[in-house]
Structure 1
Amino acid sequence: MADSPVVDTPWTRTLDYDYPDMTTVDDDAAWAPARQAALAAQRERVAEIAGNPEPATVENMLHAYALSGAELDRLTRAFGVAAAADGTEARQQVRAEAAPQIAAHTDWITLHPGLFSRFRQLQERIGAGEVTATPEQQWFLEQLILKARVAGAGLDGSGQAELKELNQQLAGLETAYSQLQVREATEAAVLVKSAQELAGLSESRIASARAAAEAAGHASGYLLTLTMPVQQGLLGSLENRQTRRALHTASVTRGSLADDLGRTTRQIGAQIAVLRAKKAQLLGYENFLESVLPLRTAPSRRAVESMLGKLAAGAAERAATEAERIAEHLGFTPEPWDLSYGIEQVRKRLPAGSGAGEITVAEGLRRIFDAAHRAYGITVVEREDLPGYVPGARSFEVFDGPAGEPGTGLGLFLLDLYTRPTKSGGAWMNGFSVPSTLAGTKAVVTNNLNVAAPAPGQEPVLTQGEQKTLFHEFGHALHALLAQAEFPQLSGTAVPRDNVEFPSQVNEVFQELYRNPTPPGAVPSENALWGKGCSTAEHVAAVVIDLAWHTLSPEQAEAAAQDPAGFEAQVLADWGLDLPLVPPRYHGGFFKHIFASAGYAAGYYSYLWAEVLAAHSSEWFRVVLDDEAALASRGAHFRTELLARGNTRDPLDSFRAALGTDPDPQHLMRSLGLQN
């Protein structure tokens, strides 16, 4: 194979584990030339692979293809990490320019007729016994062929041209949505005048709000920045009802700010839904959901909606009961901005209620690392000598067993905890590289949260919700760090979208190592179930909004786009989830999961689908939480059969291999207090 053009870039100058030194990146000059070189390199290699006259083999097809985009993969991973954590104007411009280029490039590869033909030839040769392939290699080949077919490899020339145009339009709109959503969240931050208006918050939280105001250029006052979900974490503690109202209103009314073209995120999201419906129809599917289901673990739309119907009915009924109890406790009819506060006030009166307790960040990190050591045998050590990929990020080295023993290094875990105006909302995991024996790489993964930064001299703290998020995101990190795969495309979290949240949710059970655990098989306590009706209702409400947008024909989507808010309101009413006190967790104005990219489009149900798997697995682990030896034994088995396997085989097969049975949804229903 001929040499391909490669440009010397900052991310080729690396630290341990090939961790790129992002402090050397010049945003004004680095990304564009490197991207062009990486795109050209992969195009040249793919053309050679597709045109190879030799019979198709694992080496000249699967291995060659898997490594063909190494430079582009490294570049896009590095840029994705940096732009999500610190989305400066320069990086936003780079993203806007890059999105349609990469979309077109991906289409060119996925729809390449020669490449598709060669993959099918290899499949036929394996089937005829002419080529030997391992189970992982056969699985990889099957996934490549399936993705190509779903992406439109069977379309004729005019159909493929139309598809490529749709994909480029979608890439531009998704980028516009992402950028406007970040901008609106920053501009919608609530400035309050006095500390008295923040009564109920800890001194650390108040100091953080003051520091945020100063950082935003306010000479006085306290700034309450917005997080992604509609229910802002501070609402559970704020005693001043007017402050709660202002913060909640700022959160729920997102989607009204217009960009330079006069479009709101609600309007952009609706247009994205229209184009996705057209794309699905072009590919021969009834709607967008049907076009993505072949690459997911859920078997059908009916299966997903059946699960949602049970959850919606039970959650709405339980939420109504919780609303009555909140009203009784508060002594007035609550409004949506009173919901979180009322839930926490009632929780404090429940047996063993702990309210919205906080712990220090240091203690939170100790817990997630200690739990991973007890369950999976790993050791995590901070590396203060390594620079952060953004200012304030911390670096840790992860070892398989005791720290420092030769050959036991698994990779790096990088943590960016604190919010900043240029940071994407919510919490997420991504990384610079994944484990691959073919590529010779190990994991360099990141966790990103949006915790309020402490004021100078103050010790940073985590709310209960943030503690849970830390365990959750570290579960994603473990999925990558503990992966064992030949192909980087199958490694770790590269599982179907409705499976990827499963291991991270399982990791949440290990919080119980540091507080009284729920007995195995028992119905959770009143305290543990309190608020589940409202939280489940708001979650399911967001899920049905996602499904509604993505189960429309193009004509139906065009009609819905005329009044996006009205369309969503009708959807909630149809599902019995138009609850005055409980707005959906996300609506079209700030639904990054489904409109900033296609990742969770028609797939926000994935969290609940994964919860079925996670609730079952959590019960399996809960049995041994008080037995260190048994916990280590089960952890080792779970690590080998599930976490390490990633997408190297059907993830449902990995579940069965790990737990010895099919997943049982009754575990989830019981954990939510929604059993019949």
Structure 2
Amino acid sequence: MEHTERPGATARPTTHQPPTWNPLLADGTLDYGLVDLSRIEDQHWLPALHAGITAQREAVEAIAADDSPASVATVLHPLGLSHRLLSRVERAFSCMSSVHATPERQQVQQELAQELAGHRDWLTLHPGLFRRLAALETALAQGQASATPEQLRMLQKTLDAARAAGAGLVEATQQQLRAINLELTAAETAYEQLQRQEAAAHAVHFTELSELAGLGEQELAAAEAAAREAGHVSGALLPLNLPVQQGPLERMTLRDSRRRLHQASTARGTLTDDEGRTTSAIGAQIALLRARRARMLGFEHHLDSVLPSRTAEDRTSIETMLRTIADGASARLEAEIQTLRETGVLAGSASDPAHSSSTAELDPWDISFGFATVAKQRSSDAASGSEQSAGAEQSAGADQSAGADQSAAAAKGQDVPLEEALRQVFAAASRLYGITVVERDDLPGFAPGARSFEVFEASAEQRPGAGIGLFLLDLFARPSKSGGAWMNSFSVASTLTGSSPVVINALNITAPAPGEEPALTPSAMRTLFHEFGHALHGLLAEAEFEELSGTAVPRDNVEFPSQVNEIFQELFTGGLAEAGQAPAAEDLWGKGFSTFEHIAAVVLDLAWHTLSVEEAEAAAEDPDAFSAAALTAWGLDHPLVPPRYGTGFFKHIFAGSGYAAGYYSYLWAQVLAADASQWYREQLGALDDSEQQDRALAAAGSQVRRELLARGNTRDPLESYRISFGREPHMEPLLRQLGL
């Protein structure tokens, strides 16, 4: 990773602005049109939103009133330009509220959500706009107008969205849809905010550091700091992250401490809001509202209403994939748990006085610890065997760089210093896609501790070429930050609006103690590669319309580029060149466990979103009982392994509609990613020379960048896949990766 300044960097403006000045209302003054986010105050959001809504409504009314022949120039282009201000406000608020949701921003979020929900309904159900779009569709069909393939796709997507929202229905039905959408937005916002509050409320306080035996110094220091920040005068606090299996469970040697943390995690969904509702109850209400909306639109349930905008053909194709994976994962999980029992993994785990560690039965809070312990044992055995086989072989070990040593450490499951982790992520992208990443210390951070980087085309002269966009990185956890990890965009690439990509990655790794260098665990390293895959999808996009740019692909396709990027960790271990080989046993350890908990969450999502109105009403009477019955029906009600997300803390599907009836997308995308991984291995497997491999890798990456990442949703993503990889995706590589 380079740390050079970019010549001619834009300086931060220093001119004093009057109190009424709103930075969101003007084009950004920083590079790539970025607004100086350090100057935005909470009082700026709503006025800027209102201005953006007003600007778009005026533009849409003008389109609707135009009686000239419908064309791309008179309909699509003005529509695509109508939301420039509104998009800037929405994107900026989404980015900033997710990483630092102060109480003031949470209040603004409620108001913004309601305003935007009403405006979206106004837009998609506008009769005059729908008439003009339909007129353009007719003109194109009759040869009276012309359009490029991307423009045709944009028109079709816009019309499909309008029809799916109820355009063309009678006014009374549209009014009912508007009411449901407003109620849904309020419920989704309430779910997100209560889920965040509950995570904080259920954080586990330990009075003595000795209770956290097994955690590293960095984790202990962070836990002590979290306790002070939460108002505790002593002890340590472990906040809750989104998934049910909390990271520290892998290392905590005291069983009772593990029990407390795990039970706090699984107990989520019980805190009530001001109206007496739990997140589980709000989630059930959301599912019911979605079922009612689907029926009004003529669909049996919510899944059917969203499938037209997905790549999956139908419910049967989704469930066929899930059943194949679920059956294999269940069998593998049982074998893995039997191994835990046979190896006596708890013998090395300190126990409370009521249990004997050598004879105790496994409990749910032992599972993460047990899998991690066995993984370390196997990794150590494999490393020991490798060293013995090397014997007296002399290599250039004394001359190896620190970077090579740290890459090897990552391959052996050890933590990697942050700067080395970033170097690896950026170097992989450079080798694949011909880009260079340079840190920009002169740009103001959008969140506490965030860092800024500029992305360039690589040049033969070993210096940055043409600028592509900005990459902003927010790594460390904080109480006001959403859980998990994600990619978001302040702006996206569009030749129509003239905007350039400015994307962020947000993670939730533990901040280091003062004076300590941060390091990433193997799991965090994988997450960093994954999220940077999303970032590359946005940074390398080429599109006319923002609505089709980069990651604006169908929900069950959006995870594919990020999962492909995960495989390039292997660039630093040599594994990529081993074409067609089955994964080693140590690499498959825990696949049953991780796949099982994942697919159980997928089943919960589909269960909630394949209900008729009447079934949803019944389920809302007892959400927990419904969830349990849904898992039992699939044989996924394991006493030791709960779903990755429960109904009470399933932010993906209840805090917004993006992944509703779409959490299967991760597995759907894994099919594509595993097949693509196999394709890359095939390109390199027959090449022994490292220079040949580098050239082959660069050629393959260039093709994928040009035909898939750059294309976004400007054409069918599955067509882009076939063009990029020269074949249809197959499921066998994924089953092999999962050991199924």
Separation in 1, partners of 2:182, 2:144:
40
Q: Identify the match of residue 335 of structure 1 among 343, 363, 374.
A: 363
For residue 243 of structure 1, what is the aligned residue in structure 2? 257
Deviation track 1:590-639 (CA, whole Å, cap 9, x = no partner) reads 00000000010000000000111111111122345661111111000000
Q: Report if the CA contact (8 A) 1:358-1:461 is conserved.
A: yes
Separation in 2, partners of 1:122, 1:629:
46
Matches within 5 A, 1:138-177: 138-177=152-191
Aligned-pair CA distance for 1:66: 0.7
For residue 556 of structure 1, what is the aligned residue in structure 2? 615
Deviation track 1:265-301 (CA, whole Å, cap 9, x = no partner) reads 0000000001000000000000000000000000000
Query: In structure 1, what residue type is equivalent to 2:721?
Result: F
Q: Report if the CA contact (8 A) 2:458-2:465 is conserved.
A: no
Residue 603 of structure 1 aligns to a residue whose secondary structure is coil
Aligned residues: 667
Aligned-pair CA distance for 1:210: 1.6
Q: Identify the match of residue 333 of structure 2 among 312, 319, 343.
A: 319
Separation in 2, partners of 1:185, 1:177:
12
Distance 1:406 1:348, change over 3 A: closer
Query: In structure 1, what residue type is equivalent to 2:23?
Result: P
Q: Report if the CA contact (8 A) 2:456-2:464 is conserved.
A: no
Q: Identify the match of residue 54 of structure 1 among 63, 68, 74.
A: 68
Aligned-pair CA distance for 1:566: 0.7
Q: Does 1:65 align with 2:64?
A: no
Aligned-pair CA distance for 1:216: 2.2
TM-score of the superposed pair, with normalisation by structure 1: 0.97
For residue 374 of structure 2, what is the aligned residue in structure 1? 346
Separation in 2, partners of 1:319, 1:669:
15
Query: In structure 2, what residue type is equivalent to 1:475?
Result: G
Q: Identify the match of residue 596 of structure 1 among 642, 655, 662.
A: 655
Q: Report if the CA contact (8 A) 1:236-1:356 is conserved.
A: no
Separation in 2, partners of 1:405, 1:151:
49
Query: In structure 1, what residue type is equivalent to 2:335?
Result: T
Aligned-pair CA distance for 1:8: 5.4
Q: Identify the match of residue 713 of structure 2 among 627, 630, 647.
A: 647
Residue 435 of structure 1 aligns to a residue whose secondary structure is coil
Matches within 5 A, 1:414-433: 414-433=472-491
Query: In structure 2, what residue type is equivalent to 1:570?
Result: A
Q: Identify the match of residue 135 of structure 1 among 146, 149, 155.
A: 149
Residue 578 of structure 1 aligns to a residue whose secondary structure is coil
Separation in 1, partners of 2:522, 2:64:
53
Query: In structure 2, what residue type is equivalent to 1:487?
Result: F
Q: Does 1:93 align with 2:114?
A: no
For residue 261 of structure 1, what is the aligned residue in structure 2? 275
Deviation track 1:538-582 (CA, whole Å, cap 9, x = no partner) reads 000000000000000111001001111110111111001111111
Query: In structure 1, what residue type is equivalent to 2:455?
Result: V
For residue 676 of structure 2, what is the aligned residue in structure 1? 617
Q: Report if the CA contact (8 A) 1:233-1:465 is conserved.
A: no
Distance 1:291 1:8, change over 3 A: farther
Q: Identify the match of residue 190 of structure 1 among 204, 207, 211.
A: 204
Aligned-pair CA distance for 1:349: 2.5
Q: Identify the match of residue 34 of structure 2 among 19, 22, 36.
A: 19
Separation in 1, partners of 2:736, 2:649:
31
Deviation track 1:240-287 (CA, whole Å, cap 9, x = no partner) reads 111111111111111111111111100000000010000000000000
Q: Which moved more, 1:594-603 or 1:143-152?
A: 143-152
Separation in 2, partners of 1:8, 1:38:
16
Query: In structure 2, what residue type is equivalent to 1:17?
Result: Y
Matches within 5 A, 1:499-538: 499-517=557-575, 519-538=578-597
Aligned-pair CA distance for 1:406: 7.8
Distance 1:34 1:231, change over 3 A: same
Q: Report if the CA contact (8 A) 1:288-1:551 is conserved.
A: yes
Q: Report if the CA contact (8 A) 1:110-1:151 is conserved.
A: yes
Aligned-pair CA distance for 1:19: 1.2
Separation in 2, partners of 1:439, 1:37:
18
Separation in 2, partners of 1:17, 1:215:
37
Query: In structure 1, what residue type is equivalent to 2:362?
Result: P
Query: In structure 2, what residue type is equivalent to 1:341?
Result: F
For residue 209 of structure 1, what is the aligned residue in structure 2? 223
Distance 1:357 1:100, change over 3 A: same
Residue 352 of structure 1 aligns to a residue whose secondary structure is helix
Aligned-pair CA distance for 1:533: 0.4
Query: In structure 2, what residue type is equivalent to 1:338?
Result: D
Q: Identify the match of residue 567 of structure 1 among 600, 617, 626.
A: 626
Alpha-carbon RMSD across the aligned residues, in angstroms, is 1.5
Aligned-pair CA distance for 1:352: 2.9
Residue 30 of structure 1 aligns to a residue whose secondary structure is helix
Aligned-pair CA distance for 1:51: 1.6
Separation in 1, partners of 2:341, 2:366:
10
Q: Report if the CA contact (8 A) 2:468-2:540 is conserved.
A: yes
Aligned-pair CA distance for 1:504: 0.3
Q: Report if the CA contact (8 A) 1:204-1:459 is conserved.
A: no
Q: Does 1:629 align with 2:695?
A: yes
Aligned-pair CA distance for 1:195: 2.5
For residue 303 of structure 2, what is the aligned residue in structure 1? 289
Aligned-pair CA distance for 1:228: 0.8
Q: Which moved more, 1:149-158 or 1:274-283?
A: 149-158
Aligned-pair CA distance for 1:363: 1.3
Query: In structure 2, what residue type is equivalent to 1:509?
Result: I
Separation in 2, partners of 1:153, 1:398:
41
Separation in 1, partners of 2:219, 2:111:
38
Separation in 2, partners of 1:33, 1:630:
52
For residue 349 of structure 2, what is the aligned residue in structure 1? none
Q: Report if the CA contact (8 A) 1:509-1:622 is conserved.
A: no
Separation in 2, partners of 1:480, 1:209:
35
Query: In structure 2, what residue type is equivalent to 1:508?
Result: E
Q: Report if the CA contact (8 A) 2:457-2:464 is conserved.
A: no
For residue 3 of structure 1, what is the aligned residue in structure 2? none
Q: Identify the match of residue 358 of structure 1 among 390, 415, 419.
A: 415
Q: Does 1:379 align with 2:436?
A: yes
Aligned-pair CA distance for 1:344: 1.1
Separation in 2, partners of 1:26, 1:507:
36
For residue 440 of structure 1, what is the aligned residue in structure 2? 498
Separation in 2, partners of 1:52, 1:150:
25
Distance 1:78 1:629, change over 3 A: same
TM-score of the superposed pair, with normalisation by structure 2: 0.88
Query: In structure 2, what residue type is equivalent to 1:649?
Result: R
Aligned-pair CA distance for 1:185: 0.8
Separation in 2, partners of 1:260, 1:454:
36
Q: Report if the CA contact (8 A) 2:588-2:738 is conserved.
A: yes
Separation in 1, partners of 2:166, 2:222:
50
Q: Identify the match of residue 481 of structure 1 among 517, 536, 539.
A: 539
Aligned-pair CA distance for 1:180: 0.6
Aligned-pair CA distance for 1:319: 0.5
